[in-house]
Amino acid sequence: MSTLSEIGYERIFQHAPVGMCVSRHRVIHACNEAMATMFRCPAAALAGQSFAMLYPTQAEFERLGARIVPIMNATGCYSDERIMRRANGELFWCHVSGRALHTDAGTVDIWIFEDLSEKRPVTANLTPREREIAALLVEGKTSKLIARELGLSPRTVEMHRSRLMRKFGAATSSDLVNRILNTQRQP
């Protein structure tokens, strides 16, 4: 049996079954083929690019970054599920996990991306704020917690939740989460 050093870490990275990348300051330095395939963009074209190109909007990139960076700095890791954008403009649900790696040259981040589109297609036309709130609802957060995390009033979050319920045809909050997760058929 081959040892890991005989196989080579670069080869393991390139052939991992999930999208992976190494970044610094939210700029992609290297990614594997699974990530390039997932985002429908050549790996060479992703290298050197800001993660902003993978978000539905610049505002979502900035808002999520404002939330992720302090958590990564404090704990060294981060994970969530969110809607991302492929190079062709298609939106899809993605599970994202990251870990900070401290080196002599500074901190680099290692990120893993899992495409959830087969299990959870994007089925409603949502605004950037609705996508953000939907992702937090899926995590089981209350309106009060979402409001605190996003710097909004609970009433504003409730307004967005109400719009989401109409868009998904949900009668209750739990029904809304189920429909976002696509565990129930939409009418």
What is the DSSP secondary-structure string of the chain? Answer: ---HHHH-HHHHHHT-SSEEEEEETTEEEEE-HHHHHHTTS-HHHHTT-BGGGGSS-HHHHHHHHHHHHHHHHHHSEEEEEEEEE-TTS-EEEEEEEEEEEEETTEEEEEEEEEE-TTTS---S---HHHHHHHHHHHTT--HHHHHHHHT--HHHHHHHHHHHHHHHT-SSHHHHHHHHTT-S---
Residues of the chain with CATH 1.10.10.10: 128-180
The predicted model scores a pTM of: 0.75
In terms of Cα–Cα distance, which of 33, 5, 11 is closest to 21? 33
Tens digits of per-residue pLDDT, 169-186? 888 888 888 888 775 444
User: Is 76's pLDDT higher than 60?
Assistant: yes
pLDDT of res. 186: 41
- In order of 28, 36, 38, 131, 168, the CA distances from 41 in angstroms are 13, 5, 8, 23, 31
Residues of the chain with CATH 3.30.450.20: 4-115
Specify the CATH number of the domain 4-115.
3.30.450.20
pLDDT at residue number 26: 93
Distance CA 19, CA 9 (A): 15
- For residue 95, what are the β-bridge partners? 81, 114
CA-CA distances (angstroms) from residue 184 to 29, 53, 134, 178? 39, 31, 16, 6
Check residue 187 and give its pLDDT.
Answer: 41
Instruction: Quick: pLDDT tens for 85-122.
Output: 999 999 999 999 999 998 776 788 999 999 998 887 77
The answer to whether the beta carbons of residues 8 and 56 sit under 8 Å apart is no
Do 47 and 31 touch, CB atoms closer than 8 A?
yes
Beta bridge partners of 92: 84
Beta bridge partners of 50: 27
Q: Which residue has the higher pLDDT, 122 or 79?
A: 79
pLDDT tens figures, 111-169: 999 999 888 777 778 888 898 898 889 888 899 999 998 889 999 999 999 999 998 88
The CATH number assigned to the domain with range 128-180 reads 1.10.10.10
Residue 48 has pLDDT above 90, yes or no: yes
